Amino acid sequence: QVQLVESGGGLVQAGGSLRLSCAASGRTFSSYRMGWFRQAPGKEREFVAGISTLGRITYYADSVKGRFTISRDNAKNTLYLQMNSLKPEDTAVYYCAAQRPGGYTWSDQSEYDRWGQGTQVTVSS
């Protein structure tokens, strides 16, 4: 099993950048497909990006495509989310999550069974 801890959130002006990290414990990190999700105030949690076990396949929500990049370093047991050209509507708590073995749909939250505690990202206009 894997435990996840996010970091890197903060306050940034519109147009700025942030890089989120998700540190995973345990030696099985490389066997998990991983995802980033976010939850804005008063809204449901939504999918942001996903990445395959070796990092060769990535998938993005339309709202972040071209601005965000998901990556992973299996040697460091760490998942990343590089966020550029940030907008006020990107303000949310960001969560990393590990998809259960056999999971298929990137955006289906029910397929993820390990979640971090979240990190706040606030984008000012």
Rounded distance between C-alpha atoms, residue 81 and residue 99, angstroms: 17
List strand residue ranges (DSSP E) for the chain, in order: 4-7, 10-13, 18-24, 34-39, 46-51, 58-60, 68-73, 78-83, 92-99, 112-115, 119-124
Residue 2: per-residue pLDDT: 86
Bigger pLDDT: 27 vs 114: 114
The arithmetic mean of pLDDT across residues 94-114, rounded, is 93
How are beta strands 34-39 and 46-51 bridged, if at all?
antiparallel
Q: Give the contacts of 108 (CB within 8 A, at least 6 positions apart).
A: none
Residue 102: per-residue pLDDT: 85
Percentage of the chain beyond pLDDT 70 is 100
Query: What is the token pair recorded at 47?
Result: 């999918």
> Is a pLDDT exceeding 90 seen at residue 26?
no
Residue 103: per-residue pLDDT: 84
The arithmetic mean of pLDDT across residues 26-37, rounded, is 92
Phi-psi region of 42 (alpha: psi -120 to 50; beta: other; left: phi over 0): left
Residue 18: per-residue pLDDT: 98
Q: Which residue has the tokens 């929500």?
A: 61
